[in-house]
Each structure stands twice: as structure tokens, then as C-alpha cells.
Amino acid sequence: MSGMDTTYAIHAEGLVKRFGETTALDGVDLAVRPGTVLGLLGPNGAGKTTAVRILATLVRPDAGHAEVGGFDVARRPHEVRGLIGLTGQYASVDETLTGTENLLMIGRLLGLSRPAARARAAALLERFELTAAAGRAAGKYSGGMRRRLDLAASLVGDPRVLYLDEPTTGLDPRSRNEVWDIVRGLVADGVTVLLTTQYLDEADQLAGEIVVIDHGRVIATGTPADLKSRVGAQTVTVRPAVIDETGRIREAVGRVAAGPVDVSGDVVLAPVSDPGALAKLVRDLDEQGLAVAELALRSPSLDEVFLSLTGARA
């Protein structure tokens, strides 16, 4: 359709979007390979939703261009719409219609016959465990049910590319896990997913690759592991078995630490960079006869990575 590379399911270059004085996107590049999940990570107002809206043909970029499945979003929007599914940050099902009616409407809009649309609606409701609520108005659904219905609605047309704009914002942990499982299932079926989220663990759980944006610009790109290693230091945490020994344990940790030692509650923690630090610490504690209830070395969480990348704003 154009000269651009179709090895990417989604490919955007130099996307710029302004709303009056505000620059929502300031030259964003994205590339997502088919059948993978890209996590678009950033704080509120970073430009995530604007990027999704451009890729879903809902707004036109002021500069730059984007292709989905090889079709230019600005010049071939109808073809792009035939490939995508969109689940918005705010559940965009019709609250006055039942679950069945919502899916039936979309099936009919996509050209399915009445019986085919009914069958598709029933199958999706079944798959998302909404069969019991199929005849109830979506406005009466719980948050998790509504999000599942919204996901089902975006899947009626069997999209090859799915945009999930903060799919779990406001959900309880259980509903969040359900949505995650659904997304994993879709990716296993070969669907390409662009996921926006403010939650680092969500990106960590689902995305093979993460793009961090802030103030409309890409500030980091890589796998979750890449991003974690970029911050470097690991953290050692020690929970004393005997509270009175906290002071001496703190001194022992200080001897292997690469930075200041902290005591948080009854846990002693400190950054370490030497690979042998943990072994050295264990020997030291043993020699002094200090008992510990818990001793761990952990990689930085994505939250820490994110904080260090975006400064104070996260």
C-alpha cells in the first residue's frame, strides 16, 4: 500500500499532536511486531491515549505518520478500522443496552447476518463469563464485568490489532488478573496488542517490549529486563530474626553496600553492585552469629526504573 515495512503490525514515525497550547505528542515513534505486546507506559497526561486515538483513526496527527497492518491511518482509515479493536480507558459500551444487545449491535454493524451476530455475541459472552448477565443492562454491571464486556465488544470483528487503553484502571486485583489472562490468551492466538498503562507491573506482566513516554516524548525503550538493568543496582533486604540485633545487622549490611543503608520498619535494605556481595554478607552474619528471618536480593522494580527515568513526576 505504501513503501513502509509491513513486518510491523503497527509502525508510527514522528507523531505530533497539539491541542491548542498543549503538545500531547512531540515526535513519537512506535514499532510493534505482529503477535507481540507493546506496553506504552507513562504518567497521566503523558500522551498515551492520544497515541492510541491516532492509531485507531479517531484523531489525525499534526505531523508524522502511522501505518497499521500496512495501511496509512490518515489515508486509508476504513481499512485500518477493519483490522483493529479498541478498548478505551472509559468503558465504551452502551450502558442502556444489555450485554447481548451491545455485541449484537457491533456484529450487525460489521456486516454479520442476524443469526451470525447472535451466535458471535453468545460465544463471546460465554468466553468472558458473562452469559449469566447477558440479558442485563450493561449499566448495572460491576466494573470488572463492564471491562470484560468492553473487551468482548472490541473482539466481535476478530481484530488482528488490539488497542487496550488502560484496560485495568480502577479494577480490583482479581478483575485485573482476569483481564490479564484474557490478553495473554489473545496474544497466544496471534493478536498484536498495544497496551497503555500507568501500572508498571501490568507492563511487566504482559508486554514483551516497553516504550516509556513522558510529556509526549519517548524517554526509554526496551524489554522490561533491559529497563531494569538500566537502573543498575540491585537491592539487598534483610529481616532480622531478633529485633534487638537490627543495629548490628545494619552494620554488616553497610560493609557490603554500594550506597546508604536504610531501615524500613524491621527490614534493613541497601543497594549493592558487587556480584559477590550476598555471599560475603551471609558469611559475615554467620560469623557474628546473627540470625535472620529473611534475606533477599532483588532487581529494581519497574516503579523504581520509572521514577529514575521520569524524575519526580511519576
Partner 1 sequence: MTTMALRNTGTLAWRTLVQIKHNPFELIDFSVQPIMFLLLFTYVFGGAMAGSPAEYLTFALPGIVVQNLIFATMNTGIGLNTDITKGVFDRLRSLPIARSAPLAGRILADVIKQAWAVALLLVIGIVLGFRIETGPAATLGAIGLLLVFAVALSWVSVLVAMLVSTPEKVQIFGFVLFFPLTMASGAFVDPATMPGWLQAFAEVNPTTVVADAVRGLLSGGPVAGPVTWSLAWAGGLLVVFAPLAVRAFRRRI
Residue carrying the nine cell digits 514483551: 208
**How distant is the alpha carbon of residue 82 from its chain centre?**
24
**Per CB under 8 A, does 57 bind partner 1?**
yes
One of 1, 7, 90, 303 touching partner 1 (CB under 8 A): 90
Q: For the CB of residue 160, give the shortest distance to partner 1 in the complex, in Å.
A: 13
Residue 225: in which H helix or E strand, if any?
helix 224-231
Q: Are 149 and 137 in contact (CB under 8 A)?
A: no
Part in contact with partner 1 (CB under 8 A); list of ranges 28-36, 108-116, 191-199, 260-268: 108-116
Report the site for partner 1 in 121-160 (rule: CB under 8 A).
137, 153-154, 157
Please tell me the number of Cα atoms within 13 Å of 236 on its side-chain side. 29
Nearer to partner 1, 95 or 181 (CB): 95
**Per CB under 8 A, does 72 bind partner 1?**
no
**Per CB under 8 A, does 69 bind partner 1?**
no
**Per CB under 8 A, does 56 bind partner 1?**
yes
In angstroms, the CA 209 to CA 106 distance is: 31
Three-class secondary structure of residue 277 per DSSP: helix
**Per CB under 8 A, does 237 bind partner 1?**
no
Report the relative pairing of strands 84-87 and 161-165 from DSSP bridges: parallel
One of 74, 110, 233, 307 touching partner 1 (CB under 8 A): 110
One of 95, 129, 158, 286 touching partner 1 (CB under 8 A): 95
In angstroms, the CA 85 to CA 151 distance is: 9
Nearer to partner 1, 70 or 85 (CB): 85
Nearer to partner 1, 86 or 203 (CB): 86
The size of the chain, in residues, is 314
